């Protein structure tokens, strides 16, 4: 017989010694599994082999409803706890402590699908033109080109900073992006973005490149090396501050705005899927809810019988 407490100790030792689990993660697992042990003790379980799938399922329900006088856990915290419990039972099966993994079919709760935040067109215009007006501000000229490209193509920030000079084809008005899993796609780019890129390559990039050792990267930092994702984030935040754009603005905000504005303008969902580089149209469909909400707001404000 192996008590649940003994199995938990063995599992945590396994995570620490054999898996090299980080101390913070280990501490979280310890808290979650302590809560699980309390749940099993309350159910009268004294041997890990006595645990059933229902015990595990009831534990998950208790996490979300606040059983035992505890506050309900948020989805992310409940998910982490279930992952810890599933790991314990998977370990117990592998070690021969139990004959069946009773937690295998108990899945963590699905996180709520949050609608993307999209800026309106006027706010995007303010954001894109906030920097790049000073001919001596090489970083500002670069940032203007970067933000124009992000909004014009819907590129992920990692895709944008990963661009090389030759990835932009001004003649064909297109950009070659390397997406997730190394999958490449060719996307069109608008004239304002091309103009900003041209200004950057003529007025700013040569000066930045002179400070480095030579790189094909399109966007360069102050040392002449490839611009990092972190620096690109900082550039966007600086532009948002200058433009007076309130709230949490991230590179993904421009990507969300790109998709939403296309759909608002009548673009086909499948086309937007290809432009965004989504493997499944299901991922893209979340943007349709944004446009439906926009239509609902317009209807409520404009239709004479909408509020009767």
User: What CA–CA distance (Å, rounded) separates 9 from 24?
Assistant: 17
How many other CB atoms are found less than 10 A from the CB of residue 43?
14
**Rounded CA gap, 68 and 180, in Å?**
43
**Catalytic sites, residue numbers:** 156, 180, 252, 255, 278, 287
Contact between residue 68 and residue 19 where contact means Cβ atoms under 8 Å apart:
no
């Amino acid at each position: 017989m192996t008590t649940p407490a003994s199995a938990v100790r063995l599992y945590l030792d396994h995570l620490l010694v054999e898996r090299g689990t980080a101390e913070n993660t280990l501490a979280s697992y310890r808290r979650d599994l302590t809560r699980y042990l309390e749940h099993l003790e309350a159910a009268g379980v004294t041997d890990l082999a006595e645990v059933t799938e229902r015990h595990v399922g009831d534990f998950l329900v208790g996490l979300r409803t606040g059983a035992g006088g505890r506050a309900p856990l948020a989805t992310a915290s409940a998910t982490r706890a279930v992952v810890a419990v599933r790991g314990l039972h998977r370990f117990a099966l592998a070690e021969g402590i139990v004959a069946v993994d009773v937690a295998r079919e108990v899945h963590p709760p699905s996180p709520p699908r949050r609608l993307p935040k999209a800026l309106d067109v006027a706010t995007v215009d303010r954001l894109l033109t906030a920097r790049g007006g000073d001919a001596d501000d090489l970083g500002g000229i670069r940032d203007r080109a970067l933000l124009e490209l992000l909004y014009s193509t819907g590129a992920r920030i990692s895709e944008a900073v990963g661009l090389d000079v030759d990835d932009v084809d001004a003649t064909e008005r297109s950009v070659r992006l390397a997406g997730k899993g190394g999958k490449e796609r060719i996307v069109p780019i608008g004239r304002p973005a091309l103009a900003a890129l041209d200004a950057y390559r003529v007025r700013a990039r040569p000066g930045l490149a002179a400070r480095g050792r030579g790189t094909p990267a399109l966007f360069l930092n102050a040392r002449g090396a490839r611009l990092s994702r972190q620096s690109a984030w900082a550039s966007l935040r600086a532009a948002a501050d200058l433009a007076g754009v309130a709230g949490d603005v991230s590179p993904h905000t421009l990507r969300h705005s790109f998709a939403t504005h296309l759909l608002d303008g009548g673009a086909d969902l499948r086309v937007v899927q290809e432009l965004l580089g989504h493997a499944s149209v299901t991922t893209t469909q979340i943007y349709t809810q944004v446009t439906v909400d926009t239509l609902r707001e317009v209807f409520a404000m404009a239709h004479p019988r909408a509020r009767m």
